[in-house]
Amino acid sequence: MAGVAGFFIQRRYEFGALELQSDGTLWVEGERMHLPPKELKLLEALLSAGGAVVMKDALLNHAWPGMEVGEDSLTRCIYSLRRAFGRYKKYIATVYGKGYRLTCEVKHHEVQPSVLSSRLLPRSFCLKPADYTPAGLAQAAEQQRRLVAENGQNAQAWCGLAEALLAQASLALCEHETLVVQIDEALGKALEAQPDYGDALVRLAFVAGAQGSVAAAHSLERAAAGLPCTSQADALFYRAWLQWCNRQYGAAAVLLDEALRLAPQSVAAWLLRCRVAFAYTPEVALDTAQRARKAVGEVQPVMACWYAMVLAWQGRPRAAWQCLRNLGCDAPLAGELGLWQAYVLACHDRAAARQRLASWQEAQAGWPVSAEELAVRRELNGDGAIIAEWRAFTRRAQPWQRARLDDPRLRNLGVLAAKASA
């Protein structure tokens, strides 16, 4: 991922006939390529070693920090890198029993940020509360794609596309890894067109941190600070989102309160504020959801579904389902909204909830199990039905997923899992 490797706007590498630019773009015989996040991290580790052997454990820790991952994942990513190199695949040599190394000469060049642009660009992307819906976000992404198709140097539109995709990712409206690659490409294009575009750097800092590259995130945040094209509200929001990912809920709440002072109708900021309250201070979760609905409008679908889920969790499932029906939000929805609906139903009408969950799973076939899905299944089937999957989820959870472990609907599962394995 551009910037995730930790050298964004700092280094450019030439190795043999190939080149890795400072925005994470790989050039192979005149063809531009954007590597998936893990492959890019592995390549950065190999390039940093300058031809020395990098041990397998070091590569695993670099690409999958804090996660239990087998060597087969590393082997697949190395294979993917070799395929990307084309006829230069032999640049990566296997040192059997140890790790991998590059066989070509490696040169690195320090890259300085460009002189600050004098253009003060407006916010790259902003949706009214009524448009912050699954359909509205898809339309916004498509609109931004049309703009960049007309002008590939439109940094504002590229950043707008990244923002729309990030919003979709926050609601699990599309497969996460696919969105991550698209977000990376959009931000890379934005910064290629305007290297000092602060709003793009802010978003890239979040993406880097959410993938586990804390040092890169801090570096990018510092680069964005003070730039004329950086929205203060956005900077606060994305910093808070990263704090939430790291389970620093108190710090996230403070940042979000300030962001909402600047952008009081931001559905994204209010939803994150509600998530923080649910994990950190669940006793005020319903009050926070009510304040959010008052700010963005009670008919706003995302906040209405969240509010209903919290209401059901607090023991009022019938009122929660009636709320959804009154607002026309009872028809099946995609992503996390659909799982919030299913949870309300699971607390109210289990037979209907099982049908709704089965339909949701069919639509999202092949996606990894999420904490939201486990919460629904726990309500439907009890603890024993999900203990094994909960244990697997906690082992593979990436930084952006770890805050989900504190969902109060999943409390005590860690203790139960430990007892089950004892």
Whether residue 15 lies inside any domain: the answer is: yes
Domain count, the chain: 1
**Per residue in 182-213, pLDDT tens?**
999 999 999 998 888 889 999 999 999 888 88
**Per residue in 229-262, pLDDT tens?**
778 888 999 999 999 999 999 999 999 999 999 8
- CATH of residue 91's domain is 1.10.10.10
DSSP-assigned states of every residue in 175-242? -HHHHHHHHHHHHHHHHHH-TT-HHHHHHHHHHHHHTT-HHHHHHHHHHHTT-TT--HHHHHHHHHHH
Q: Which two tokens stand for residue 268?
A: 């994204």
The CB density around residue 152, as the number of other CB atoms within 10 Å, is 12
Residue 353 scores a pLDDT above 70: yes
Whether residue 414 lies inside any domain: the answer is: no
Q: Are 220 and 201 in contact (CB under 8 A)?
A: yes
Could you tell me the pLDDT band of residue 115, with boundaries at 50, 70 and 90? very low
Residue 114 scores a pLDDT above 50: no
Whether residue 369 lies inside any domain: the answer is: no
Whether residue 362 lies inside any domain: the answer is: no
**Per residue in 393-418, pLDDT tens?**
888 777 778 888 899 999 888 777 67
Supply the pLDDT for residue 79: 92
Q: Which two tokens stand for residue 247?
A: 């389970």
Whether residue 162 lies inside any domain: the answer is: no
**326: closest CA among 311, 339, 313?**
311
Whether residue 92 lies inside any domain: the answer is: yes
What residue ranges in 6-144 does DSSP mark as E strands? 11-15, 18-20, 25-28, 31-34, 54-55, 92-95, 99-102, 106-110
Within the chain, what is the greatest distance between any pair of CA atoms?
67
**Mean pLDDT of the 157-174 span:** 92
DSSP-assigned states of every residue in 224-264? HTT-TT--HHHHHHHHHHHHHHTT-HHHHHHHHHHHHHH-T
Look up residue 116 and give its DSSP letter.
Answer: P
Higher pLDDT, 284 or 112: 284
Supply the pLDDT for residue 290: 97
**Mean of the per-residue pLDDT values for the chain?**
86
**Mean pLDDT of the 364-376 span:** 88
Could you tell me the pLDDT band of residue 376, with boundaries at 50, 70 and 90? very high
**Mean pLDDT of the 326-331 span:** 87
User: What pTM, to 2 d.p., does this model score?
Assistant: 0.72
* Domain containing residue 44: 11-110
The span from the CA of 94 to the CA of 99, in Å, is 6
**Mean pLDDT of the 153-173 span:** 92
Counting residues of the chain whose pLDDT is more than 70, the rounded percentage is: 91
The region, left, alpha or beta by phi > 0 then psi within -120 to 50, assigned to residue 353 is alpha
Phi, psi of 137 (to 5 degrees): -70, -40
Whether residue 75 lies inside any domain: the answer is: yes
Whether residue 341 lies inside any domain: the answer is: no
Supply the pLDDT for residue 171: 94
